[in-house]
A and B are shown apart, each in its own frame.
Chain A
Amino acid sequence: MAGPAVAVKDLVKVFGEVRAVDGISLAVDAGEIYGLLGPNGAGKTTTLRILAGLLAPTAGRAVVAGIDVAAAPRAAKLRLGFLTGTTGLYARLTGREVLTYFGRLHGLRGAPLARRVDALCDALALGPLIDRRCEALSSGGKQRISIARAVLHDPQILILDEPTAGLDVLASRFLRDFVRAERARGKAVIFSTHYLAEAELLCDRIGLLYRGRLLREGTPAALRAERSAVSLEEAFLGLVEELEAVAPAAPPSTGGQAR
């Protein structure tokens, strides 16, 4: 694959009178974990939803695996796995039924699909969870099934929207280990969170988002060094204060908050 696995160029998304994403450009290479960081309403989820083909950009382009998502959403979706903190599982189906359903939507069937499900059961230690109804699983169990669902078709790109939200320490660690393993397999991972410490632990590069704009981009170490900060949080707060001094934020909008 020539060029970056994910490329976003001058991306804009307007909801009513709210510019949720305001001219973001970034690129993520294969074998890289890129963290999108920012407070609620910064534009992280909207950016990821555009990349996942759920929202159409108002302006700009989002390209995954060389495919313009807006122009060919189906082809793009075949090459990416999308995971959110809500897990998005059908409560009345078993884990195996969920995986079979999404596997078939991705074009897998028969013995190859069964083998892939079994392989994921081993890799993610799903064990007996796989044949239980999803409604009966713990948050960690649901998230494991959900990870299996997202990587079932072995996508080149993983888009993870706050995947650790609501997970306990062990489950969060499991997820981070899994993401690192995917990076080692050459996958591009774009990962949003508002836990700065988690991003620092996991990401190769980080993009700091605020009010729909990309404030800074770089490795965690470079971002800290730029602000002479001891932590990413301190660096981020310094940047925000600087920005607020120049252009104070408008009163909280009643307009769009993507969720």
Chain B
Amino acid sequence: MKAEHVALVYAKELRETLRDRRTIIVMVLFPLVVYPLLSILAAQVLASKEAKQEARPSRVSIGGPDADTADIRRAIESTPHTLILVPSAAGGRAQVVAGTLDALVEVRPGVRAPDGGAGTASVDIVFDGAREESQRARDRLNDALGQARPVGCEPRFTMADQSVAPRAKMGGYVLSKILPLAVILMVVLGAFYPAIDVTAGERERGTLETILSSPIDRFDLMTGKVLAVATLATLSGVLNLASLSVTLLKGLALTGAGTALTIPWGRALATLIVIVPASFQFASLLVAVGSIARSFKEAQNLLTPVYFLCFMPAMVAALGEYPLAGLPALVPGVNVTLLARDLMLAKLHPGTAAVVLGSTLLYGGLCLALATRLYDSERLLYAADDAGSFGGWLQRLLGRGGGAAPVPASPADDAARAAALFGIGYALLYFVFLPLQKASFARGLLISQWVGLLGMVWLYARLSARRLRDVLRFHMPTARDVAGALLVGLSAWVVLAFLVEWVFPAPQEVVDRLRDMVTPRDGSRSLVINLFLIAVTPAICEEALFRGPILRGLAARFAPATAAVLTGILFGLFHMDLWRLVPTSLLGVLLSWVALASGTIVPAMIVHLMNNGVLVTVSQLGGDDRLSKLSTPAQAALFVAALGVLTAGVLLLRGSRSARNVAEPTREL
């Protein structure tokens, strides 16, 4: 063996691979971002679920002669926050099974002792092992009644748990914990490679021209492809459903834990009605994304994040145990997972199921329409990067021949560097900044922002041999820009707050946690310190990173609107909060638009400063409570007024851009 040759080949292969930025992003940065994101998502969902369940008292009842239940009644009544005693009625067990009662305490009098004393009574806590609320009620009763039995004395009663859940219901319950998520994941995984094969694979095999020169409508072509992928995904889902059901329950039976379980084959079969439309939806999505790719490798790079995007809502649904009603019934991925769970639990509401299935098919149809537009021979048969760019393609997708061109940028700015900066920042946030902030919020935040984020941008400027102000586009704004930014900053938070409250309301505990973070109840931070920490600092440091190299890098590759949306989403993800993802992303889009429209970062900093500053001030003065207690007409009036101010600000900024030649040298501070 010639070591020199091995070393030569090794170095060449590494150099070639590492020059493919997409490989690097997927291989290194993607896991750095995704796993922290998933863990935070899971932690927040579980915490929210726990808090919700803790806040709900269990409805319990007592059955048995009053004389024997007095102690028990007292014990239950002493914990009114967790247990609510409802009057006993006939058929208590049936109520537990039906879910109208969480648990029943059945008391059987003890046999009287020969000396005439009362015998030891036996207490059965009757619960439904296939229902979480009932299990919680059992635990709470055990705690309460356990305390009623004095330690060291002869107990007046013995206690035992008794589940009334039938074997099939228990089987369904166990399956509902694992199967929905697993099946959805297997469906997506089952569609993954076939979607690549029918799109990018067609091009790599050289059959693209042949099929596109045949007299077949593109919609027909893509429908055939999507249905083929959906069939394979369905097969994957069905096989996994059957195999997992049997394996899980038989495995539990082998360990002795599953002797009370049977496979509810009827319910497992009913889950098929979820698998088929879910397969169609995910197949359409993956085929649409695969249609963008020009090679098998590119398709893999593009579809891997999409796979995780499909995984996240399914995971949120599986962990969060949300009821299938309202918004969750319409959220793609969440709705099918919850419906699969409800089918396993035999809790099917036909109306809701119809909404879930209908919306899933609708999303699938939309993705199919998208795939049809994307499978564009103009782009697929053209080799050059510029005309075949995502931005150019998006313009065609939107039906605009010309449209806005990417913003002229320094050659040093590009999307790969923007993605790398975000990935590094995200990893630092998770592994360094958050622990620092947990140890000491104020100190940690200051270090994270001024040293971490601003330091990253400074380092980026140094490494790309440019001045920091050039990297940031730090130019003197016009008076019109400043006026527009002030109006947007004053009003955006109101508009976003109401939109979120009406469309995507956060649980109260999340709101309380956020409020505590902004304005600690102990009054340990003055308004001035708070404003510096939460308004001034992010307005400079977060803007420097996001509206600096990240936005400019993306704008060098994509059309301005696309760059603003992508930057906004990254900005939302960076805040690592599921409940704030939507409003923060929307704010990020707005800030990005402001920076692009004005051609300088300063107005975006002003908007960020105003937005956070007003929020901190209102929160410190207790105004947010008053805001949420306003009547609906008052809220609507406030929303409309804020929308008006926001529109005026946007128009000012928009006019400012059109009045100024972007290429004209801008005045520097």
Contacts and interface: CB of A to CB of B under 8 A. Distances in A.
Interface string B371-391: 000000110011110110000
A74 B382 CA distance: 21
Contact of B206 (A17, A88, A106): A88
B216 interface: yes
A77 B214 contact: yes
B209 interface: yes
Interface string A1-44: 00000000000000111100000000000000000000000000
A56 B303 CA distance: 29
A175 interface: no
Contact of A49 (B216, B381, B383): B381
Nearest to B211: A88
B213 A77 contact: yes
A255 B338 CA distance: 49
Contacts of A66: none
A257 B384 contact: yes
B205 A256 contact: no
A124 interface: no
A259 B381 contact: yes
B384 A15 contact: yes
Contacts of B216: 74, 105
Given A54-B381, A88-B210, A256-B384, 15 more contacts: A16-B392, A54-B377, A75-B215, A80-B213, A82-B210, A82-B213, A88-B209, A105-B214, A106-B215, A149-B210, A256-B382, A257-B383, A257-B384, A258-B382, A259-B383
B212 interface: yes
A52 B213 contact: yes
Contact of B213 (A54, A87, A258): A54
B381 A89 contact: no
Nearest to B207: A88
The 8 closest A-B pairs by CB, nearest first: A88-B210, A86-B206, A82-B213, A16-B387, A256-B384, A77-B215, A52-B213, A16-B386
Contacts of B209: 49, 52, 54, 82, 84, 86, 88
Given A84-B209, A86-B206, A78 B381 contact: no
A64 to B, nearest CB: 12
Interface string B209-240: 11111111100000000000000000000000
A243 interface: no
A102 B215 CA distance: 9
Contacts of A55: 377-378, 381
Contacts of A257: 383-384
Contacts of A18: 384
Nearest to A87: B206
A91 interface: yes
Main SS class of interface, B: loop
B404 to A, nearest CB: 16
Contacts of A75: 215
Interface in A67-87: 74-75, 77-78, 80, 82, 84, 86-87
A52 B381 CA distance: 13
B217 A74 contact: yes
A255 B388 CA distance: 10
Contacts of B208: 88
Nearest to A253: B384
Interface residues of B, number: 22
A188 to B, nearest CB: 16
Contacts of B212: 53-54
B219 to A, nearest CB: 12
Nearest to A51: B213
Interface string B58-97: 0000000000000000000000000000000000000000
B223 to A, nearest CB: 14
Contacts of A91: 205
A90 interface: yes
Contacts of A107: 215
Of A16, A84, A254, which is in contact with the most chain B CB atoms at under 10 Å from its CB? A16
B291 to A, nearest CB: 16
Contacts of A254: 384
Nearest to A85: B206
B207 A89 contact: yes
A220 B611 CA distance: 75
A258 B386 contact: no
Contacts of A56: 378
A74 B213 CA distance: 9
A15 to B, nearest CB: 5
Given A15-B387, A16-B386, A257-B383, A74 B207 contact: no
7 contacts: A16-B392, A52-B209, A52-B213, A88-B209, A105-B216, A107-B215, A256-B387
A192 to B, nearest CB: 13
A115 to B, nearest CB: 21
Nearest to A55: B378
Given A55-B381, A86-B206, A259-B381, A102 B214 contact: yes
Interface string B294-323: 000000000000000000000000000000
B208 to A, nearest CB: 8
Contacts of A105: 214-216
Interface string B358-402: 000000000000000000011001111011000010000000000
Interface in B452-507: none
B266 to A, nearest CB: 39
B389 to A, nearest CB: 9
Contacts of A15: 382, 384, 387
A107 B211 CA distance: 14
A90 B207 contact: yes
A78 B384 contact: no
Interface string A178-194: 00000000000000000
A91 B204 CA distance: 12
Contacts of B384: 15-16, 18, 254-257
Contacts of A259: 381, 383
Nearest to B214: A105
Contacts of B381: 49, 54-55, 258-259
A258 B207 contact: no
A84 B217 CA distance: 21
A15 B379 CA distance: 10
Nearest to B206: A86
A89 to B, nearest CB: 7
B284 to A, nearest CB: 22
Nearest to B378: A55
A78 B383 contact: no
A77 B212 CA distance: 9
Nearest to B212: A54
B416 to A, nearest CB: 18
Interface in B239-298: none
B206 A74 contact: no
Contacts of B214: 77, 102, 105-106
A74 B383 contact: no
Contacts of A102: 210, 214
Contacts of A78: 215
Contacts of A82: 209-210, 213
Contacts of B387: 15-16, 255-256
Contacts of B210: 82, 84, 88-89, 102, 149
A102 B212 CA distance: 11
